[in-house]
């Protein structure tokens, strides 16, 4: 199976130039101390990215890779929110239509973001089969080009630009941690990181209630019959086939974390670093804490993947006037 390479990721970075944010890298001594003695964590803040998540990288690369004929028919995807919002935003940037299949129960703030960027929403049942079946119908009706959330060369290359930026700013990192849902982010980042720093250790963070990647790695093949059960809505997708192939080659270890650990990590980042991250994102800090002493005296790049939280689900926010 063909994988993107560093040249593909660098080409994506050129397409993205001026169209997305080069997000900041932040540090926290208190967070470092909560992981291990001498650990230095460098947080790549994709929660501060356009649309509130890293997904705009892959979506923009995909949309601006289309030929004029393809673009004229629009683009379509299925998404629980972040990829859908990103694709709608990228399509708006290019002046084309976008059609987004959204499962019932998706986070309200993410659905609102899709709509705000002009995405045309079609609802479906909250299963992978329903997502894919509904998307096929939308594609037949519109003639749009499918842009998958993660299992796609253009998406993987675009997501890998996050690691390019992080390593350019902090070249001495020796470990990289990224979350795993469908696998697009960690795939692209792992390829970029290993190309630039062959000895770097790349670690995936996955909810224990959606640990299909860890189980698939143990089995040596993708486990399809898996129903996710995790608060990390952005990580419920099953691992993509391209992404699984890349992870097997480039990722050194996958750490699973429970939801309580992720929620505690999210709360600590909110409280200590004063930035909003979502549960899908906080898995990376939960994983770093689980590794603990293994990260002592190491320089760890951490991808904070997104910050799209439904504030109405938080008690104090629900009482605030709108």
Provide the annotated active-site residues: 55, 80
| DSSP per-residue codes, 157-225 | HHHTHHHHHHHHH-TT--EEEEE-SSSHHHHHHHHHHHHH-TT-EEEEEEEGGG-HHHHHHHHTS---S
Phi, psi of 119 (to 5 degrees): -70, 135
Cα separation, 137 vs 143, whole angstroms = 10
Cα separation, 286 vs 289, whole angstroms = 5
305: closest CA among 193, 204, 221?
A: 204
- DSSP H or E segment with residue 293: none
| N- to C-terminal Cα separation, the chain | 50
Cβ contact 245:221 at 8 Å: no
Cα separation, 81 vs 239, whole angstroms = 17
Cα separation, 213 vs 86, whole angstroms = 24
Decide: residue 316, CB within 10 A, 0-12 exposed, 13-18 middle, 19+ buried. exposed
Residue count (the chain): 322
Cα separation, 40 vs 60, whole angstroms = 32
15: closest CA among 61, 71, 56?
A: 61
Q: In what order do the strands lie in the sheet with 75-78?
A: 120-124, 98-103, 75-78, 145-146
111: closest CA among 91, 133, 84, 139?
A: 84
């Amino acid at each position: 199976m063909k994988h993107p390479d560093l040249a593909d990721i660098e080409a994506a970075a050129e397409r993205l130039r001026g169209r997305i944010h080069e997000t900041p890298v932040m540090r926290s001594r208190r967070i470092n101390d909560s992981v291990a003695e001498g650990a230095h964590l460098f947080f790549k803040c994709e929660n501060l990215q356009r649309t509130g998540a890293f997904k705009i990288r892959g979506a923009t690369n995909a949309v601006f890779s289309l030929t004029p004929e393809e673009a004229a028919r629009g683009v379509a995807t299925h998404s629980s929110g972040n990829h859908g919002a990103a694709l709608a935003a990228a399509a708006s940037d290019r002046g084309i239509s976008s059609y987004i299949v959204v499962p019932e129960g998706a986070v309200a703030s993410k659905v609102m973001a899709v709509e705000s960027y002009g995405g045309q929403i079609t609802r479906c049942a909250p299963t992978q089969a329903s997502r894919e079946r509904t998307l096929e119908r939308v594609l037949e009706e519109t003639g749009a080009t499918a842009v998958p959330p993660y299992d796609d060369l253009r998406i993987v290359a675009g997501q890998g630009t996050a690691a390019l930026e992080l390593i350019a700013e902090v070249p001495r990192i020796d470990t990289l941690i990224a979350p795993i849902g469908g696998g697009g982010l960690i795939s692209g980042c792992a390829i970029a990181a290993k190309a630039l720093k062959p000895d770097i250790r790349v670690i995936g963070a996955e909810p224990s209630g959606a640990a299909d990647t860890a189980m698939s790695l143990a089995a040596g093949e993708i486990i399809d019959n898996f129903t996710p059960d995790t608060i990390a809505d952005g990580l419920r997708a099953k691992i993509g086939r391209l992404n699984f192939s890349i992870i097997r080659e480039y990722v050194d270890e996958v750490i699973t974390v429970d939801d309580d650990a992720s929620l505690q990590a999210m709360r600590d980042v909110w409280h200590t670093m004063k930035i909003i991250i979502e549960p899908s994102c906080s898995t990376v800090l939960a994983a770093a804490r689980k590794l603990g002493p293994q990260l002592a005296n190491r320089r760890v790049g951490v991808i904070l993947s997104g910050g799209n939280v439904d504030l109405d689900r938080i008690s104090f926010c629900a009482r605030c006037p709108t």
